[in-house]
Amino acid sequence: MSISLDEVRHVANLARLQLSETELLSFQGQLNSLLGHFEDIQNLDVSGVAPKPHAVAMQNVFARDIAHQPLPREEALRNSADTKAGLFIVPTIIEE
């Protein structure tokens, strides 16, 4: 399987990564090389094998519903590039 430059562009958009044309070309090469290596598991017989999403499976992990002091607002906002009136400022999503 080989991945086209348009597919690389599509994946970069899905990943929210703005890449230069040089980067797109470089990632196309690297992705194709990796995907080539990934072929080795395509022929492996995994029929009937349950997928293993966790290292150590656990079930029903509950936390007690206890009220506690949350992080103060100013600390939560401290690392943001742009805040106003105790809120994160985000780029405009909905126009008036």
Partner 1 sequence: MLNQLTAAEIAAKLRAKEVSAREVTQSFLDRIVKEDPHYNAFLTVNSDQALAQADQAQSKIDSGEHHPLCGIPIALKDNLSTRNIKTTCASRILENYVPPFTATSVQKLDDIGAISIGKTNLDEFAMGTTNENSAFGSVHNPWDTERAPGGSSGGSAVAVSAELAPLSLGSDTGGSIRFPAALCGVVGFKPTYGRVSRYGLVAFASSLDQIGPFAKNVEDAALLANAISGHDPLDSTSLKNSQINTSDLKTGSLRGLRLGIPEELFGPEIDPQVREVFELACDNLAREGAEIKRLSLPSINYGVTTYYIIAPAEASSNLARFDGVRFGPRIEKEGHIESFSATRGELFGPEVKLRIMVGTYALSSGYYDAYYHRAQQVRGLMTAEFERAYQDLDFIISPTSPIVAPKLGGITDQMALKALDLCTIPANMGGFPSISIPCGLAYDLPVGFQLTGPVMSDEKILQASYAIEQAFGRDYRRPPIL
CB of 96 to partner 1, least distance (A): 15
Please give the Cα distance from 3 to 33 (Å, whole number).
10
CB of 10 to partner 1, least distance (A): 8
Please give the Cα distance from 65 to 71 (Å, whole number).
17
Out of 52, 59, 85, 96, point to the residue binding partner 1 (CB under 8 A): 52
Does the footprint of partner 1 cover residue 4 (CB under 8 A)? no
| Residue 78 buriedness (CB in 10 A; 0-12 / 13-18 / 19+) | exposed
Please give the Cα distance from 8 to 15 (Å, whole number).
10
Please give the Cα distance from 70 to 87 (Å, whole number).
16
Does the footprint of partner 1 cover residue 71 (CB under 8 A)? yes
Does the footprint of partner 1 cover residue 84 (CB under 8 A)? no
Contact positions vs partner 1 (CB under 8 A): 3, 8, 11-19, 23, 26-27, 30-31, 33-34, 37-38, 40-42, 44, 46, 49-56, 58, 61, 63-64, 71, 75-76, 78-82, 88, 90-93
